[in-house]
């Protein structure tokens, strides 16, 4: 099931980062070798009362003037409305309501999505009454916290997760493969989507019950059903480059959460950029299947080995998703688009693969025989038993004597052995360790 997305909106200096840091402290384990993503505090995985959600910070660069603040806040609200399931509107309880707050409130009032007004900087009881004025914003629930002192955070999280019940169970699986087409601006995502949907069989529809304002395209190709997820475009292009990039990352996060497979679209004429790495890293961290789609291949001058050389470069630049197949396409001419579809279907199957416990344990004992785990901290790792705990992505539980001596490189080795036997192409795989004496 996809994780809900909670977006924080609010003026500069109300305390968004402070809250974000407090909550991100609860961040569940994040793969360390993913470039870009972990360093960027644009989002955090939060868990509260066994409910997981993705928290995104819509705040971007620091604006210098009042009117820039206003326009940026409008864009923040817009993005939150488009991508989030729950919106946290943070205001400053010391300063009181400002005109910019009213402006944002006007926008948020139009959305069907739950909005929680969080009045920050209520550092002690004597300030508690400050929160009442914010009911004038007219968007419902108001709750007070002190992000700096860590007060009221639990109550706030209770409120946030209580909204999740509203859309649990909505995401019905119709057996279709859910695909997110992601990539940086101008990589050719819309062109590709148009090509896929342009066929007469395609039915473009707003799927009823989806909680996000997304336009999902349902397409049947060769008897297989695909749902192409498109988090409604932010059509108005911003002139500020960092803003465009931040928003495109936020959009990608929202689409990725709902997908089984991500088609990471790269512009062949530019090669892999830092932003591509970041976006591919998001798909990887979210545990989704990945196909690397090199688009605009029609614009590349080709010699005998061009494609191989290009592949090698991509393997270097995106080494953390070495499991992902690469396909070279042209959304413009349609070249190899059907091959891309085949790969997406293949990867979706791999992503959902279930491996029998017997076969898994055979492979692992054989792997251990061929190469013993290294001694760590004077102890030798023993792997007693393994089983696949879940799919999407395939997740394996290994019962071992000491969980604290599992070495990263040995995990890599096991992963490679498992892949050699079972394929699992295009999907990340995960290991969980349990101690058994
Ligand atoms: P952002 O611009 O919305 O991300 O705001 P920041 O998190 O950077 O906070 C802006 C300022 O408000 C900083 O000086 C924080 O220390 C301060 N601040 C944040 N939360 C609180 C709070 O709960 N109480 C008080 N008194 N100050 C806070
Ligand atoms: P998006 O921002 O990722 O949705 O990118 P668009 O689909 O809007 O494409 C950006 C630009 O690249 C447009 O001018 C497209 O016509 C062009 N484009 C997209 N795909 C291809 C392709 O395969 N070949 C060529 N030559 N141009 C393409």
CB 92 within 8 A of CB 135: no
**Ligand 1, closest atom to CA 21?**
7
Distance CA 226, CA 243 (A): 31
**Residue 393 token pair:** 């992505």
Which atom number of ligand 1 is nearest to the Cα of residue 147?
Answer: 23
Q: Is there an atom of ligand 1 within 6 Å of 416 CB?
A: no
Closest by alpha carbon to 408, among 382, 390, 431, 391?
A: 431
Domain boundaries, the chain: 5-167, 176-352, 357-435
- Check pocket membership of 188 for ligand 2, CB cut-off 6 A: yes
List the binding residues for GTP: 10-17, 57-61, 120-123, 183-190, 230-234, 295-298
Strand order in the sheet with 203-205: 203-205, 216-221, 224-229, 177-183, 261-267, 289-295, 326-328
Q: Which ligand ends up closest to the CA of 279?
A: 2
Q: Is the CB of 88 under 6 A from ligand 1?
A: no
Which of 18, 59, 90, 100 to mutate for ligand 1's pocket (most ligand atoms within 8 Å of CB)?
18
Alpha-carbon gap, residue 340 to 328, rounded angstroms: 8
To test ligand 1's pocket by mutation, which of 7, 15, 16, 19 has the most ligand atoms within 8 angstroms of CB? 15
CB of residue 186 inside a 6 A radius of ligand 2? yes
CATH annotation of 5-167:
3.40.50.300
Sheet with 383-390: strands ordered across: 383-390, 395-400, 430-435
Name the CATH superfamily housing domain 176-352.
P-loop containing nucleotide triphosphate hydrolases (3.40.50.300)
Give the ligand whose atoms come closest to the C-alpha of residue 57.
1
Residue tagged 């396409």 (tokens)? 329
Which residues line the annotated binding site? Answer: 10-17, 57-61, 120-123, 183-190, 230-234, 295-298
Torsion of CA 95, 124, 54, 38, to 10 degrees: 90
In angstroms, what is the span from residue 204 Cα to ligand 2's centroid?
20
Q: Is 335 in the pocket of ligand 2 (CB under 6 A)?
A: no
Per-position pLDDT tens, the chain of length 437: 568 889 899 888 899 888 888 887 644 333 334 444 434 456 777 888 888 888 887 765 555 666 777 777 777 788 788 778 899 999 999 999 998 899 889 989 888 889 999 999 999 988 989 999 999 999 878 999 999 999 999 999 999 999 886 555 444 456 899 999 998 888 998 889 888 876 433 343 434 333 334 467 888 888 899 998 865 443 445 556 666 666 777 778 888 988 999 999 999 999 999 889 988 999 999 999 999 999 999 999 989 899 999 999 999 999 999 999 999 999 999 999 999 999 999 999 999 999 999 999 999 999 999 999 988 888 889 999 999 999 999 999 999 999 988 888 999 999 999 999 999 999 999 999 999 87
- Nearest atom in ligand 1 to 14's CA: 3
Fold of 357-435: GMP Synthetase; Chain A, domain 3 (3.30.300)
248 lines ligand 2 (CB under 6 A): no
pTM to 2 decimal places: 0.73
Sign of the four-CA dihedral 196, 202, 208, 213 = positive
Q: Between the CA of residue 48 and those of 157, 160, 294, what are the distances in Å?
A: 7, 10, 39
**Distances, alpha carbon 323 to alpha carbons 284, 334, 415, 426, in Å:** 10, 25, 11, 5
Report CA dihedral (236, 240, 242, 247) to the nearest 10 degrees.
-10
Q: Is the CB of 279 under 6 A from ligand 1?
A: no
Q: How far is the CA of 358 from the centre of ligand 1 (A)?
A: 55
Q: Ligand 2 center to residue 186 CA distance, Å? A: 6
Whether residue 13 has its Cβ less than 6 Å from ligand 1: yes
CB 289 within 8 A of CB 350: yes
Phi-psi region of 283 (alpha: psi -120 to 50; beta: other; left: phi over 0): alpha
Q: Are 142 and 131 a contacting pair, CB within 8 Å?
A: yes
Q: Is the CB of 10 under 6 A from ligand 1?
A: yes
Q: State pLDDT tens for residues 163-196.
A: 886 555 444 456 899 999 998 888 998 889 888 8
5-167 against 357-435: fold identical: no
Q: How far apart are the first and last CA of the chain?
A: 34
């Amino acid at each position: 099931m996809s994780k809900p997305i909670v977006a924080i909106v609010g003026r500069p200096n109300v305390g968004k980062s402070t809250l974000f840091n407090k909550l991100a402290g609860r961040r569940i384990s994040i793969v360390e070798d993913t470039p870009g993503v972990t360093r960027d505090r644009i989002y955090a995985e939060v868990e509260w009362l066994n409910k997981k959600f993705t928290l995104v910070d819509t705040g971007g660069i620091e604006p210098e003037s009042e009117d820039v603040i206003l326009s940026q806040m409008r864009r923040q609200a817009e993005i939150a409305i488009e991508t989030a399931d729950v919106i946290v509107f943070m205001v400053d309880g010391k300063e009181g309501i400002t005109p910019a707050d009213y402006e944002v409130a006007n926008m948020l009032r139009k959305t069907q999505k739950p909005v929680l007004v969080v009045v920050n900087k209520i550092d002690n009881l004597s300030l508690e009454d400050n929160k009442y004025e914010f009911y004038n914003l007219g968007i419902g629930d108001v709750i007070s916290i002190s992000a700096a002192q860590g007060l009221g955070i639990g109550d706030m999280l209770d409120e946030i997760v209580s909204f999740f019940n509203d859309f649990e169970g909505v995401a019905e699986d119709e057996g279709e493969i859910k695909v997110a087409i992601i990539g940086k601006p101008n990589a050719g995502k819309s062109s590709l989507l148009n090509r896929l949907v342009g066929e007469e069989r395609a039915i473009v529809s707003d799927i009823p019950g989806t909680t996000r304002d997304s336009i999902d395209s349902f397409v049947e190709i060769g008897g297989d059903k695909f749902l192409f997820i498109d988090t409604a475009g932010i059509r108005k292009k911003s002139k500020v480059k960092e803003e465009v990039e931040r928003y495109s990352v936020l959009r990608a996060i929202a689409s990725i959460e709902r997908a089984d497979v991500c088609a990471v679209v790269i512009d062949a004429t530019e090669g892999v950029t830092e932003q591509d790495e970041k976006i591919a890293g998001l798909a990887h961290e979210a545990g989704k299947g990945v196909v690397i789609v090199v688009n605009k291949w029609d614009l590349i001058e080709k010699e005998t080995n061009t494609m191989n050389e290009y592949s090698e470069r991509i393997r270097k630049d995106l080494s953390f998703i070495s499991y992902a197949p690469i396909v070279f396409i042209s959304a413009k001419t349609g070249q190899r688009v059907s091959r891309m579809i085949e790969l997406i279907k293949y990867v979706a199957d791999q992503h959902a693969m279930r491996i029998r416990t017997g076969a898994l344990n055979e492979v692992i004992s054989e792997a251990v025989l061929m190469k013993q785990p290294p001694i760590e901290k004077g102890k030798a790792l023993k792997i007693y038993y393994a089983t696949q705990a879940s799919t999407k992505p395939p997740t394996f539980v290994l019962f071992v004597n000491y969980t604290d001596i599992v070495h990263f490189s040995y995990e890599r080795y096991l992963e490679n052995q498992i892949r050699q036997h079972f394929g699992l192409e295009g999907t990340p795989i995960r290991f969980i360790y349990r101690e058994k004496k």
